[in-house]
Structure 1
């Protein structure tokens, strides 16, 4: 079987695209490894219509059910390779399975580099956060710990001063920071600690503080993590020859979301955009619209806007 559309990634962007393409009555398959950001975030706080927030797993489940009602199929697995064929694309899933499709959407996202603390995952989106644009508001006027590495953590601490100045930056990996930037941190009244964290102190999903390597406890009921070195999952696009930015994000046409490879689209955090759930939804929907237009032949690419 050859599908009209294959979507690699069942997160926010991929699922939104699947819903839209299902409503166009195209045959659609979503290949989902189910280990992206949306599987870990316990609460999105800044989405229209959810004033009390909604969890990533819950939103994914609702979206998948909506897509499946429209005939969209899901395959659990990791897409490991992709290549062009005469009639479209072949995507390898795991070691053996293969999926063929006329159009391809890459919505593989970004994998955050997070410390290996068992208590961290239950707190993500509740009392420990990753994105200041999403959740800086959640620490407004509160004591906030920044758990990070080198200048990635330092930059996070400085960015959070928009909401609070009661900040402690703990350089867990003890990576170097410039003297000038460290001086700027101190000028902002941010405390700086350079030693490893032994463990997070929590009650269920609520942070209470951290136990440091020297045995001391640093109290705090809110934290941000910032370790840098996130994994941009753009390898499939690279295999197909799509244009990548210097930071490995996939470059897409701002209007159509198509990559530099004809009939390959990308949406969500794997592209160059603000890494927000709402933006990912918009990306997925926009990509789906243009995938549909290409399938029914209603596109003048010279006017639609494409990457060269």
Structure 2
């Protein structure tokens, strides 16, 4: 196996930095909530119960428990193919990538909260309307592509950063999801046919490595300062979506948020090669003044934060600022 463009001894393909498919990577400047579905798997506890002791019952029970835990953690996903057959001679990598790019464009243009055969969805919400999808980072940057002769299918593994803007009961909302996806493209009668693109997660998946664009720190710093200013400009009992979560007591009025000092003074950027974004770690002091039942109140917090920033040809885009441990 190699990391060069083209076919390896087993037919694998890795897209290089020079092969870039544009998928409308530009979104709003700020105000997103990151759900990071792929990175942060939820672990559910197994409730206590009776264990069979006869005829190997304990072993069987343990196998069942492990299977249930694996399903909960990894979503029941099948593993991505480990090997590739030689490609059909008439198929070029650019054609496979272009077919998937066209399907991503269709997924992006959908107004459904859960478009069929697409990887993105808005879950756990009722009365969702006015849905607008945007792929903030090129999902076809450095994918892994493999071919199965028996299945007559190309399998494409990659990562995507998906923005959802929508309305819930008349109130605007935004979320950002970092996900791994698996696209399946059939090859029948000399034609490529995208079957579906699913959100995917499995511990044995090949590594996705995107190229660091070497974004200069100064524009990231400037946009991050602007994002902090947007966070504290709101007068509600909570800051806007995408800002550190701090909810005041119900009934708080005349709210005024403020940041003391420079929140980027000791901030440091780190490039997340899996998703192609920058993670910025730093510290800031957050103050809030408000009235509660007519009495003036003031609270202060020193917060360690992580900000997510997506590079783009129009400049860095701040996705969110969240409190970190």
Which bin holds the TM-score, normalised by the shorter protein? under 0.3
TM-score normalised to structure 2 length: 0.21
In proportion to residue count, which structure has more helix?
1
Which one has the largest radius of gyration? 2
TM-score normalised to structure 1 length: 0.22
In proportion to residue count, which structure has more strand?
2
